[in-house]
Each structure stands twice: as structure tokens, then as C-alpha cells.
Amino acid sequence: MRSRSNSGVRLDYYQRLVHKIIMTNQNPVTGLFPASKENSHAWIRDNVYCILAVWGLSMSYKKMADQDEDRAKTYELEQSCVKLMRGLLMAMMQQKEKVERFKQTQNPLDSLHAKYSSQTGQIVVGDNEWGHLQIDAISLYLLILAQMTASGLQIVFNLDEVAFIQNLVFYIECAYCTPDYGIWERGDKTNHGLPELNASSIGMAKAALEAMNELDLFGARGGPYSIIHVLADEAQKCQAVLQVNLFYIMNYDKSTLITCR
């Protein structure tokens, strides 16, 4: 029997840790993570950040795997990532009509919901009961989707899903001129619930647009119809707004408006 390498032993320790803290909380049906044991709501942003630890560990196992057991653990971790990303995709696709409306109206009430039920994937609050317009959350999902797909994971299965992902790209491409509720979900710096331009949202949208550009969502088995297209001007406009107005719109302190001369 082959002895276990030091790196393998270390990875096994992290695998047990990740399984105990993260993966045991993943819903077996939807693949989503609840906010807590008392709160079954699943935020898009929080769920994506949770699964990053699982994905990072899977890539470490893939690189260092020296036994069949390691390859099995790699596959288990990868499929946990796929399950989460597809769970969020299915939840958002139930609101595909809102994406179409938002592209025309830019109305916060027409935006995708920021959180869903971790048990069913259905909405949990009304359109006007939460600051749902959080471009950074959708952008983060697209960014990680692009990175996971580029790493070899198959997350998108058909052209209907490709079309929806393309629509999400259109959804975020005007982040540079779309006030949203941002990562704090509270709107402007006075916490009056009014959306404003957020540097974190614009920066995340820029990163997502660059990552998604010309990405084949079917990987090596794809073709021209599974490639995502991004208008180059939109990413550059996000970059320009960040460079010029970063210190004006960044929420360092929700009670203080920061300006620069």
C-alpha cells in the first residue's frame, strides 16, 4: 500500500473541514445553502462565496491527486460546485421575464431577486420588500461561472440556458450607469433605501464581462451557438467610470459621503 504524501494528508484535513462546515449544509434537492439553521433564505452572493472554498479544494485535489481515492474526492467536490451553480441558475431562470423587462425599464422592481428559498428555489419576498437590484451579485455569479467553466466543469447543459446566461450579460453590461443597492443591500450612504452607483458593483460587472467574453459554455464540446458575446464598449465604460469616479461612489462609510479634489 502506497504511503500518503504530506500534501495529500493536508488536503484530506481540509476536505474533512470543508465537508463538516460547508457541504453538510447544502440542500440535497436544490444545491443551495441556507443563511443559517433558522433562516432558509439563500442569497446569490453568499452561496457563490461559500462554494469557492469547495471549488478551490477540488482544483487542489486535481493537481495533487496521486491515488484513486483522491480522484474520487475531486469528482465529489466538483459536482457539489455544479449542483450549487445550477441551483442558482434554475432559481434565476424562473424569473427570466423580469430580465427582459429590466433591460427595457431599468426599474429596480423588475430586477432579479437577490435571494431565494434554499429548499425550493422559489422567491421568498416580494419585488418591493427587499433591495433586490444588486448587480454585483449577478456579476459575481457570472464571473465564477466563467472561471469554473474554463477549468473544465460542465455547468450549462443546453442552449436555453446559454440564451439565459447571454441575457444576464446584457443585464449587467450597463452597470456603469445603473444605480443599485450594492453589496450592503441598503442603497445610498444615508441608508434611506435609495439605489446609487456602487464601485463594487461596477468593478464586479467589469470583471464578469471580461471573463464571459467569447466564452464557450459547453467547453471543448461547444460550437458557435454556445459562445457568449460581450460588447467591448460596455466593459471599457465600466473601467472609465471606475477610474474617474471611484472615490466619489465608493461606500467606505455608509454614513459619510467621500469626495476627492
DSSP annotation string for 68-87: HHHHHHHHHHHHHHHHHHHH
**Residue 100 main-chain phi, psi, to 5 deg:** -65, -45
Summarised one tens digit per residue, pLDDT across range 158-183 is 999 999 999 999 999 999 888 999 88
Q: Is residue 226 part of a domain?
A: yes
Q: Is residue 240 part of a domain?
A: yes
Helix residue ranges per DSSP H, 65-198 = 68-93, 96-105, 135-150, 159-172
Boundaries of domain holding 223: 6-256
Please give the pLDDT value at position 188.
Answer: 66
Please give the pLDDT value at position 232.
Answer: 81
Please give the pLDDT value at position 255.
Answer: 46
Give the mean pLDDT per block of 10 residues along the chain (261 residues).
Answer: 71 94 96 95 97 96 81 94 98 95 92 96 93 95 97 96 97 91 78 81 94 95 94 87 68 45 34
Does the predicted model carry a pTM greater than 0.85? yes
Rounded-to-integer distance, Cα 180 and Cα 187, Å? 7
What percent of the residues of the chain are helix, what percent strand, and what percent coil, each to the nearest 5?
55, 5, 40
Contact 67, 119 (CB under 8 A): no
- Structural domains counted in the chain: 1
Residue from 143, 256, 150, 146 nearest 200 by CA:
143
CB neighbour list of residue 132: distance below 8 Å, 6 or more residues apart: 108, 111, 112, 113, 114, 181
Q: Is residue 261 part of a domain?
A: no
Summarised one tens digit per residue, pLDDT across range 123-160 is 999 999 898 999 999 999 999 999 999 999 999 999 99
Q: Is residue 248 part of a domain?
A: yes
Please give the pLDDT value at position 123.
Answer: 96
Q: What is the largest CA-CA distance in the chain?
A: 68
Q: Is residue 219 part of a domain?
A: yes
Q: Is residue 1 part of a domain?
A: no
